[in-house]
Structure 1
Amino acid sequence: MKWRVHGLAVATALCLSTPAWLALPALAAPTPQSPTDPEVASQWANPAIRAEVPTDQDGQQLIGLELIEADDLATAEIEPGQPLTLKLAITNYADAAISDISLQARRADTAWTTSQARRTLSFDISDYSQLGATQQLLEPIAPGESREVSITTPTAIDATDSLRLSPDTVQAMMIALSGNLESGDYNGNQLLATERMLVSVGDSDPDEPTIAEDAEAVVTPDEQIPGLGLIYPLSATVDIVPGETGTAPEEAPLILASEQLAGQLAPGGRLDELLSVYRTATTTGSGATELNESSCLAIDPALVDTVERMSQGYTVSETRPSRTPTAQRLRDSWNSTDASESGEQGSGVDDAQRWLEQLRETAAQGCILALPWANADLNAVGATANQWLYREALERGPATLQLILGTTPTGNIVVPGSGYITEQAALGLGWADQSQSEILEKGMSGAWETDAATHTSQDSDDTEDSSLESTDTPAENTVTPPEPASTVSVLVSDNSIWQMPTADRFASLAPGINGVTFQGSLGALLAATGPNPSTVGYSDPVARFDYRLDSVTSRAISAGAALRLSVAEETFPGDWAQTAQPVLAIAPTDLDPTTASVLLDTTSDLLADDRASALPIDVAVTPTPQQQAELDSQPLTAGGSGVERFGSPYSDPTSISDTEILSASQQARYTDDLTRMTVNSSGIALSRYGFTLPLRRDILTALSGTYRNSIGTHDEAVDNSNQLLDDNRETLQDLRGSVALIPPGNVYTRASESSPLLIVAENGLPLPVTAELAYSGPEGAYITVPEQVSIPANGSITVQMTAELPADQDQTQLTLWLSTLDGAPISTPVDITVQTRAGIVSTYGIGLLIVVGLALALLFRFGRRRRAQRRTRS
């Protein structure tokens, strides 16, 4: 599509944009809120738009209208004047029949920008004023019935009953369904349903020069062709049963809660189709080379790691065998079933092997990069202020892809699923610098040990005795991330940065951290695709609605048209920019095969027609020397109290709530405590960090943004996250509860003041535990405890203590517990009662008096009996 610039384009873009400083920034809700909650419902869908059709009490449409086939739009562009044939399905969800049914094609005014195009899809039917052909249905549709129908409408400018689609444009069209719903308040002929989409119309003169004669901006042809890059995600929900812990030398057996992932990997499944479509598009055809250069696979490392484990065999079970064996009699175990035999063998081993091998071949031939682990919401991860969660989310992924796929990913690129980054989260992006990462050489376990040794060295320089002190925020959680040695680029919406140094589409967010912006309106349109369309926090709430009102096919076609429009929009940037800015199209992480095919075909067409040039992702994120110099010349602005410089410009109902973040941060801290209290052993292959690694991954999975940002799946995603956090908390409690003190009994009696106190410490973990013995007691009680208590793996040890207890008390109550070396409690406190020497003496004295008294009583009684016997004989 060769673009003809109109003065209206600039005016429309300015009118439809909202200044960031006037917008309401995104704030996490205190607790999760459903999209049906009146407090947040308007943040998901503007109640003033798309509300012209009848609905039930739950807001669901009574009549469904769905586009199921549009051969003319298969390539996302139609020829000028070409008649348009659409096949639709009408479904009656009401309790009464509909009659006098008619379908009419309509269109709105031409959209000159992607922002305007997005807004047009939300307009009232009266704004679709150009009327096309009408199709009448003679037969009524009964309740519960679904019927397929086709409608053909002319599009030529001079045709009768035509939509009059102008060449080289993108226009919003509608199919309006009217009829008589013979039910209650809905009697009478009225609008019952609509189906809307963006339609891209091709060039009327293929030989026309790319530069339009009426263009306002005068630039060279090379400058008019924008670069185009497509980020193509491969991601899926991984439902590993929570509670897994690390093992060695072999990895723990994989237990999945269902076969949903196997279904996606099977032939015809979502992941199989996504990879197959991409492989075909980038390896076959005349434009495959350019498309391969212009696109990049963004892969979820959690998905690849799980599929690799699946390829070696797995079990399907809703529960995980207990890690703590229960004591039972031999005869009770004769008819019992071993926990390890629970569940069924997974059926997706072969498909996992096949899919993984195809992914390796594809990765070797093109670009790949790592998404955050499990598509974790980086803003929520940043809010936990936990170093190791952030490092697992960002630093682990590229190394995992390289180890499993055998191809080095493009490093130092972060793609947040939310489309924006908060200031708090930006501080941790330094962990994404692969140039400083040693994870391939030492693993994350090596990084943990290096960090632990550093803190141990620092603690040894302290003169204060803090053995009994406890901290709620360990030092590990407040470590400042390293400043990147090589620039880290984070891809964010262009309206999410407003007070930072900028140079064209680049912005300095922090030292060594660059924000690389993409068109927010394009990102919002691409996100609203697939069976579960997403609402992105950076989108203007005025134009938000329930995107499921339009079919998957219609929204896929709209995505392709929006991509064409964004490229045309940059072809003539206007007075505010002298050169065309590159276009970055970032598909949603839950991308569906239908939309994937449209985006690949559209990208290929744009490159083949020289309307865009291939833009490799590493080039897209690299400023030119002039841009970098402009960034360097501007000082980073300091944000004051309550001053936001970048982030979501609007309210984001999809963000993870404060309650969930608090729970995740607490569990991450407990996991760190559990790791620190265990000790690596030369005789045990398992490392302490490797033992607790799956627990951190469970937390990241609970913070995933997948399906949380869709109206239809938000509540289920929140429930799954909360259940995962609950299960993880129980696991942590069980693990920490397996390290405990066993008191000697109700009362501990000392023979003398120098007699030691004895207590047994047990450890049910597969690694040794080093801990401190902490206590509390009355004033004057002092216990000399060992500096460290080393408990062997899956064993116990008797700890000996000396005590100075108040001499004026018969008994002394003491509370003892195990803690980490920095004072964080480990075990449940136990109470013991110590019998003092004074108490022993007094007890012995009373006992002696009782014995003497009993002896005297017996002698007296015996004497009386003998005297009575003498009197009887006499």
Structure 2
Amino acid sequence: MIRARGLAAAAALLCLSTPAYALPAPVSPSDPAVADQWANPSVRPDEHGGIGADVLEADARRVVLTVFNDSDEVVSGLTVTPRHADAVPTVGEARRILSLSGEAYPYYGTSREVGDLAPGERREVALNLAPLDLPPGTTPLMFALTGAVGESGVDYLGSERMLHTVDGDPLEDAQTPGVSLVVPVTALVDIVPGETGQAPADPPLILESEQLAGQLAPGGRLTELLDAYATATTTGPNAAELRQGSCLAIDPALVDTVSRMTEGYTVAEERPSLTKKAQRLRDSWGSDEESDAGEPGRGAADAQEWLSRLSATAAAGCTVALPWANGDVNAVAATEDEWLFRELVQRGPATLQSELGAAPAGNVVIPASGYVTEQAATALGWADQTGSTVLEQGMRAAWEASAAARAPQPAAEEGTALESTDLPDISGAPAPQNPVQVLVADNTVWGVPGSGNFARLSPGITAVTYPGALGALLAATGPSPQTTGYSNPDSRFDYRLDSAAARASTAGSALRLAVAEQTLPGDWAQAPEPVLALPASLVDARTAAALLSAAAELFAADAATPVPLDRAVTPEPEQAEELDSQPLSPQTLGVTRFGSPYADPAAVSDTEVLRAGQQARYTDDLTRMTVNDPGINLSRYGFTLPLRRDVLTSLTATSRSSIGGYGDVVAAADRRLDANRRTLQDLRGSVALIPPGNVYTRASESSPLLIVAENGLPLPVDAELVYSGPEGATVDVPGRVHIPAYGSITVQMTADLPAEQDQTQLTLWLATRDGSPISTPVDITVQTRAGIVGTYGIALLFVVGLSLLLLFRVGRHRRRQRQRP
């Protein structure tokens, strides 16, 4: 007999023949070009948007609904009818049934008349599930609404769908699978872009809004989520097993921001300018060029309370770091910027340990997209925490070591920029010393036989798979349900058609069903694989509680065993041996092919990746052109670090794969990248050359050329003066120009210019030691000695001519005077 997961793996291999590619530019989910990738137009097409029902409460025997009329017309004769389908054997089948029309729900219960509903009216309806006589197992439920809208006849108006589980007798000789539940803790962080580092403390925190404070306040999403998890793992039923078999996946950018909020913050739409222009005192009188100072934030106390509670919860259980700002791993890898990717996956564990006091699980990467590209897999070597010094030294030490390796060689000729081809080749992520595990859906990789739910993606990088159908159902939960790229497009629809409570109930039942899939009787059954469950990034407390409750009930009934995350992501010795026996090579690469099997409409577009990559490299250049000064606490990497974080925040995956959140996330990313670009331009523009007027006249060939270099940055700048000019022009520029912080320096040069030309045009600019331009080029015109002599000769002839003309006129005038009587 072939197991269900074997069939799923075979299907996945076929699906991988049509990988997904990013769109050239962001496209709205409502655009016809991509609309069917977000939602199959043939799925639930007759759902009425303004009339529906939301689940309020649900248990084994009873469901309470809120029936609402948000349309502009009266609904008369409204009736709710419970219906159900046959019990489903797999999560994939359950997901398919939830997307089908009413014909898939052939069994009817007793209808309940609601009556007439006026526009805006809501009414609660309680339904008894006992008459449905649901079979043991997991069954799709449908609560169908019928009624007449306005003058029309009675018609089907919509439905509420959910999965419902009825416990049955356990199978004989059934094996007990393991369960490992990962609960994400993240939120959109809206720090006003354009921040730069300060020392010794962080710069003042400026947020665009109080939305994060609202989530941290009592009753807010983050507070209720943490309360639900902490309660379930400390005082709830089977708390010890639940604590062992669950883990908080925490966004380090969120923790870092909340920690800064505890010190006080400001809410403003923009931040003050980083650069100051020279201005005469009299011109500044009465001027008002300062930006709005903003308002003091109100969430400092709530931030402190939440952070303390999170620290206590982390100390008592398992934590793992999400990518910084829950950034899209594939998009950041596509920028091809080393330091951006290292900030994405390398700093998070150190941040959590520093802020929360507990070391998170290491070498584990959780992409929000549920899959990784081949480009991202090769970069994941940077996620190796073995021997990491980020906690003690930050990323500064790594940057300086890299900068030293890239420094110009002593043999390089003074006064010339080193060509990029002369730099040592240190590109690419190193192979990890210890394996890096990346959690992805099982239909996004093709594993090695005998290796279970593990597959080797690249040297030292192992994919740990979770059930794709379960992942797709769990991703469609919470306030911002996600459309996963690895989900079958045939069953995609706007998941907001069902209420958040119904989707939370579905999540709990889906986890029970996924465990049941792994339970097979008979001697032929293989050892069941652990069930990894990952809900949506913006999971709400209700969904988290439903999953935690389902897991606790499975543990209590001995239907599943808790598996710690670090054990769930580690292959057994025989599995590791099987993985190692299949080396990656061009001949076997097709066997381990991976990526999204279907179109992913939420993938970060090529345009956004290009902008982010350009700004990341621009930030790298800005870092390289500054130098550390023992008298200044601020380091050059620390100065530019917030600019990199702005780029990472613009590539967040949070809410991007939601039909309702995509547009806002894309617009916010566009605004952030625009603001970050302006900041980078201002910072680079503050290091400039000031030419000495339009024409520089030399008295002799040995006369030096003078030019002023100014620096408006808080760190010194080491640069080279680079020039271009006509053939035969040679300028002896200094090999190194050191411009002090917030200062200027006069640079002296000698030049050998063509003597036969009256004037010579030169272009000069500042560049880093590896040749990257720093300042805007300036043009100067040098008056040569030959030009000076020619000019003097013309002037002399002109004076002589005027003198002769004057003498002639005076002589003629005198002669006329003598000739008069």
TM-score range, shorter chain: over 0.9
In the alignment, does 2:129 pair up with 1:191? no
* Partner-residue secondary structure (3-state), 2:132: coil
In 1: Cα distance, 2:646 partner to 2:424 partner: 19
Matches within 5 A, 1:268-307: 268-307=219-258
Task: Specify the alignment match of 1:117 in structure 2.
Answer: 94
* C-alpha contact 1:573 1:579 (8 A) present in aligned 2: no
In 2: Cα distance, 1:335 partner to 1:788 partner: 42
* C-alpha contact 1:20 1:496 (8 A) present in aligned 2: no
In the alignment, does 2:92 pair up with 1:145? no
- CA displacement, residues 675-715 of structure 1 (integer Å, 9 cap, x when unaligned): 11111111111111111100100000011111110011111
In the alignment, does 2:681 pair up with 1:733? yes
In 2: Cα distance, 1:337 partner to 1:658 partner: 41
In the alignment, does 2:112 pair up with 1:135? yes
- Please report how far the alpha carbon of residue 755 of structure 1 lies from its aligned counterpart in structure 2 after TM superposition: 1.3
Matches within 5 A, 1:47-66: 47-54=41-48, 61=49, 63-66=50-53
In 2: Cα distance, 1:476 partner to 1:397 partner: 29
In 2: Cα distance, 1:372 partner to 1:47 partner: 34
- Please report how far the alpha carbon of residue 435 of structure 1 lies from its aligned counterpart in structure 2 after TM superposition: 1.1
Task: Specify the alignment match of 1:171 in structure 2.
Answer: 139
Q: 1:584 pairs with 532, 547, 557, which one?
A: 532
In the alignment, does 2:166 pair up with 1:211? no
* Partner-residue secondary structure (3-state), 2:86: strand
* C-alpha contact 2:69 2:75 (8 A) present in aligned 1: no
* C-alpha contact 1:499 1:646 (8 A) present in aligned 2: no
- Please report how far the alpha carbon of residue 550 of structure 1 lies from its aligned counterpart in structure 2 after TM superposition: 0.6
* C-alpha contact 2:457 2:592 (8 A) present in aligned 1: no
Q: Number of residues paired by the alignment?
A: 821
- CA displacement, residues 768-821 of structure 1 (integer Å, 9 cap, x when unaligned): 111111111112212111111111111111111111212221111111111111
Q: 1:653 pairs with 601, 606, 615, which one?
A: 601
In 1: Cα distance, 2:591 partner to 2:728 partner: 52
* Partner-residue secondary structure (3-state), 2:721: strand
Q: 2:73 pairs with 96, 103, 124, which one?
A: 96
- Please report how far the alpha carbon of residue 461 of structure 1 lies from its aligned counterpart in structure 2 after TM superposition: 7.4
Task: Specify the alignment match of 2:691 in structure 1.
Answer: 743
Change (3 A) 1:501 1:252: farther
In the alignment, does 2:166 pair up with 1:201? yes
* C-alpha contact 1:300 1:372 (8 A) present in aligned 2: yes
- Please report how far the alpha carbon of residue 637 of structure 1 lies from its aligned counterpart in structure 2 after TM superposition: 4.2
- Please report how far the alpha carbon of residue 12 of structure 1 lies from its aligned counterpart in structure 2 after TM superposition: 12
- Please report how far the alpha carbon of residue 9 of structure 1 lies from its aligned counterpart in structure 2 after TM superposition: 9.5
* Partner-residue secondary structure (3-state), 2:395: helix
- CA displacement, residues 623-657 of structure 1 (integer Å, 9 cap, x when unaligned): 11111112122222437999981111111111101
- Please report how far the alpha carbon of residue 386 of structure 1 lies from its aligned counterpart in structure 2 after TM superposition: 1.0
Change (3 A) 1:514 1:39: same
Task: Specify the alignment match of 1:561 in structure 2.
Answer: 509
- Please report how far the alpha carbon of residue 340 of structure 1 lies from its aligned counterpart in structure 2 after TM superposition: 7.7
- Please report how far the alpha carbon of residue 542 of structure 1 lies from its aligned counterpart in structure 2 after TM superposition: 1.0
* C-alpha contact 1:502 1:508 (8 A) present in aligned 2: no
Change (3 A) 1:752 1:422: same
- Please report how far the alpha carbon of residue 831 of structure 1 lies from its aligned counterpart in structure 2 after TM superposition: 0.8
Task: Specify the alignment match of 1:460 in structure 2.
Answer: 409
* Partner-residue secondary structure (3-state), 2:111: strand
Task: Specify the alignment match of 1:415 in structure 2.
Answer: 366
* TM-score, structure 1 as length reference: 0.90
5+ unaligned residues in a row in structure 1: which ranges? 1-6, 55-60, 156-161, 213-217
Change (3 A) 1:509 1:644: closer
- Please report how far the alpha carbon of residue 146 of structure 1 lies from its aligned counterpart in structure 2 after TM superposition: 2.4
Change (3 A) 1:483 1:11: closer
In the alignment, does 2:298 pair up with 1:347? yes
Change (3 A) 1:476 1:245: farther
* C-alpha contact 1:262 1:347 (8 A) present in aligned 2: yes
In the alignment, does 2:631 pair up with 1:693? no
* C-alpha contact 1:386 1:476 (8 A) present in aligned 2: no
- Please report how far the alpha carbon of residue 462 of structure 1 lies from its aligned counterpart in structure 2 after TM superposition: 7.2
- Please report how far the alpha carbon of residue 28 of structure 1 lies from its aligned counterpart in structure 2 after TM superposition: 0.9
In the alignment, does 2:56 pair up with 1:69? yes
Change (3 A) 1:306 1:249: same
Change (3 A) 1:470 1:454: closer
> Quick check: 783-792 or 849-858, which moved more?
849-858
Q: 1:149 corresponds to which letter in structure 2?
A: E
In 2: Cα distance, 1:407 partner to 1:836 partner: 70
Task: Specify the alignment match of 1:158 in structure 2.
Answer: none
> Quick check: 334-343 or 247-256, which moved more?
334-343
Matches within 5 A, 1:430-579: 430-456=381-407, 459-460=408-409, 467-468=416-417, 479-498=427-446, 503-572=451-520, 577-579=525-527
* Partner-residue secondary structure (3-state), 1:427: helix
In 2: Cα distance, 1:778 partner to 1:817 partner: 16
Change (3 A) 1:462 1:488: farther
Task: Specify the alignment match of 2:28 in structure 1.
Answer: 34
* C-alpha contact 1:387 1:478 (8 A) present in aligned 2: no
Matches within 5 A, 1:549-698: 549-572=497-520, 577-638=525-586, 645-698=593-646
Task: Specify the alignment match of 1:58 in structure 2.
Answer: none
Change (3 A) 1:271 1:138: closer
Task: Specify the alignment match of 2:665 in structure 1.
Answer: 717
Task: Specify the alignment match of 2:789 in structure 1.
Answer: 841
- Please report how far the alpha carbon of residue 603 of structure 1 lies from its aligned counterpart in structure 2 after TM superposition: 1.5
In 2: Cα distance, 1:300 partner to 1:499 partner: 29
Change (3 A) 1:794 1:576: farther
* TM-score, structure 2 as length reference: 0.96
In the alignment, does 2:168 pair up with 1:181? no
- Please report how far the alpha carbon of residue 181 of structure 1 lies from its aligned counterpart in structure 2 after TM superposition: 2.0
Change (3 A) 1:807 1:375: same
Change (3 A) 1:845 1:639: farther
* C-alpha contact 1:679 1:688 (8 A) present in aligned 2: yes
* C-alpha contact 2:237 2:552 (8 A) present in aligned 1: no
Q: 1:368 pairs with 319, 333, 356, which one?
A: 319
Change (3 A) 1:33 1:641: farther
Change (3 A) 1:175 1:21: closer
Task: Specify the alignment match of 1:86 in structure 2.
Answer: 64
- Please report how far the alpha carbon of residue 495 of structure 1 lies from its aligned counterpart in structure 2 after TM superposition: 0.7
